[in-house]
Amino acid sequence: MPSADNRFTRRFGLLTPIAAAPMAFASGGELAAAGAKAGALGMVGGAYGDRDWTAREYTSAVKLLSDDEAAVARLGCGFITWRMEQDRSALDWLLDQDHTPAAIMLSFGDPTEVAKPITVRGIPLICQIQTIAQLPQAVEAGACVIVAQGGEAGGHGMNALDGRSTFTLVPEVADWLAAHAPDVQLLAAGGIADGRGLAAALMLGADGALVGSRLWASEESLATAAAIDTAIAADGDGSARSKVFDILREKDWPAEYDFRALRNAIHREGEERIADLEADPAAAIADYKAGVATGDFTRAHVTVGEGTGLIRSSASAGEIIRTIDAEARRLLGEA
């Protein structure tokens, strides 16, 4: 029977097989520190590699955990791989700090070159993938943990045409690792928002789960209260994956990736005319920016995945993690 006390928890000194996703513009120092204090692997969302932002939030997390030696040893950071190829200054800053991250996570792109300064320092490398084709590359780059991200996940992921479901991707990755790289550990990601999801991930062969949307809606998240309330009011039918919000946010993502968020009015207007929107986005961008400025979430985006239907209230990150863990342990004990 899968256990919530396993090689992933032992490897990182965790109290639960949960990693708090390093979500761009949501996983600041407070959320990462709260996750680490609760016994999870807490990760600051270094994302696009803004050096000043990463330095401020990571330093804040270290300070918040300064009186808890075990918790500060569970603190890491995550970055967007293709962005690090353009500007590695935030990663270089992190690697020069006195505090050695518990792990550094790379997502979206070939990790081979970006991983080298991480692995040469002996820092555990976590690589997120969305397809089986990406798996050998991540292992060869030195990943000691693979995150198998299904298309249900909020924010960026593989496009709807090429993406996979968490439920089938995770066991297929588990089988490949068992045959080719048995020491490499596996986390499931995408739609995991409660103890049932964590228990299912473990039963499917994962060593744990990367939790995103549920912690995005936590009290420590940098997401606004109004955005969180909008997500709580939505159900799982309400999200969609497309390029619309990347166009409106002027983010130049590689073609294979797109963005899942709540399917609001501005998204619906754009999703049937992607080519036109790309060719002449100025008016739509102005409308989107006005929505952001006024907190109008019929125009501004709310970055959650299909798991939003399982988010029924906001709570502290610690409470969320403990609740997920307790439910999973109960279900696994009954299995």
Written as six digits, the tokens of 55 are 């330095």
Query: Does the structure show a pLDDT above 90 at 335?
Result: no
> What's the pLDDT score for residue 49?
84
> What's the pLDDT score for residue 98?
92
Per-residue pLDDT tens over the stretch 103-116? 999 999 999 999 99
Q: Are 102 and 41 in contact (CB under 8 A)?
A: yes
> What's the pLDDT score for residue 4?
72
Nearest to 267 by CA among 235, 305, 241: 241
CATH superfamily for 7-223+313-334 is: Aldolase class I (3.20.20.70)
Query: Does the structure show a pLDDT above 80 at 3?
Result: no
> What's the pLDDT score for residue 160?
85
| Interatomic CA distance for residues 210 and 198, integer angstroms | 9
Query: Does the structure show a pLDDT above 80 at 65?
Result: yes
- Each domain of the chain, given as residue ranges in start order, spans 7-223+313-334, 225-294
